[in-house]
A and B are shown apart, each in its own frame.
Chain A
């Protein structure tokens, strides 16, 4: 059952395996690395009825579950009703939250369902490290939510961490924190997407940290989830990481954004990767099956300058979005190539890489909790 099926997956599937659906661009936080540049709600966001229609379509396509995110999805007034609606249509829900709405009573409600899973986002094992990127008070919010889930008997919810230079030394502490709340640790890659593009050079792990992370992940095996996000590290070649280890953009994954736009992946919110909109004739299914962009992504991709590299079979050239937003050619090495080719490519890269779009960042003082971000990337450039 575990042999690679990559040849099948690269040609695409009848429906995505892993569909991310961002329900709103509204968020109570202003994380410096937000991959969707969230903050303010977009007035064109899908209505409750439109969301229900998408859920019905996902049921027909036999999409097993959706990864709901945002923005902060739980700030949508209809969020819990949409969760119930999805579960009622046998579409499982995993949602990512900063924990702001996970009260004891909500936690009890969530603990009762096999079809709902929760990911609490935390980017530091200590308040100091976390709050520096996610905002003042966000550590307390997340740990209070985890405490509520644990007390409600919700076993195995996820503690989801974006690995950065600042927290890469805290992996054991994250594992201990997850264990304390009966949660499972999930580590994901920092992408230069959204506001993350502006802070990527400061936040991305060093080459030494990448190697340490790879060793830590291979040591912990399937006990630590990664959402397949570190497949570029497979180039180290000392044992594959669990997962498919390929870029699934448009093949096995895609993103529906709050206004119904369908992108090839959650880290590629840019018009170049826009495949269509669920509001158009034929809905999401037609976009998935007939979009020209997705058809082209399902064709064999050129490996360009990586062709002669012995690690190419393992890493497949890495992450498309990471290359795009750092100004690298899509058929070249990943900017964090473990063979060091990314550093060379970055030195020669386009000095003004494509800008992530659109931007829903808070314009002014954004949140009730949290300081005003002093980084220019947290304000609209308009």
Chain B
């Protein structure tokens, strides 16, 4: 899976309209109907971040709101970059 090294935490993001989210005990399953790809969120906190993206002006704010600690932020930035690279999430205007 391609991973963009740069993910702009200070932009607004949202889930792609064609993505379905199914919560599971370990986190969640994401399925993109357009690319027909499945992704696994291995962490309930990441699920909260992803579900909160559309309600915040920046991805950083979504992370803070979900309770991501500052020192953990780089890991979540990388995870969001992966999701952006596979078109699961998109930048909002």
Query: A residues engaging B (CB < 8 A)?
Result: 1-3, 5, 8, 13-15, 17, 62, 64-65, 90, 92, 94, 114-115, 117, 156
Assembled-state Cα–Cα distance A94/B1 (Å): 23
Interface residue from B26, B33, B83 paired with A114 (Cβ < 8 Å): B33
Cβ–Cβ contact B31 & A65, under 8 A: yes
Query: B residues engaging A (CB < 8 A)?
Result: 1, 18, 20, 22, 24-26, 29, 31, 33-34, 36, 38-42, 79, 82-83
Interface residue from A17, A94, A114, A117 paired with B38 (Cβ < 8 Å): A17
Cβ–Cβ contact A3 & B33, under 8 A: no
Cβ–Cβ contact B29 & A1, under 8 A: no
Q: A interface, by DSSP: helix, strand, loop or mixed?
A: loop
Taking CB atoms, residues of chain A closer than 8 Å to B39 are 1
Taking CB atoms, residues of chain A closer than 8 Å to B42 are 1, 3, 5
Q: B interface, by DSSP: helix, strand, loop or mixed?
A: mixed
Known: A13-B24, A64-B22. A2 touches B38 (CB 8 A): no
- What residue of chain A has the Cβ atom nearest to residue B39's Cβ? A1
- Of the A-B pairs whose beta carbons lie under 8 Å apart in the complex, a sample of 11, sorted by A's number, is A1-B1, A1-B82, A1-B83, A13-B29, A14-B22, A64-B29, A64-B38, A65-B31, A92-B36, A114-B34, A115-B33
A113 CB, nearest partner CB in chain B, Å: 9
Known: A1-B40, A3-B42. A8 touches B33 (CB 8 A): no
Taking CB atoms, residues of chain B closer than 8 Å to A94 are 36
Assembled-state Cα–Cα distance A382/B1 (Å): 51
Assembled-state Cα–Cα distance A15/B33 (Å): 18
Interface residue from A2, A92, A156 paired with B33 (Cβ < 8 Å): A92
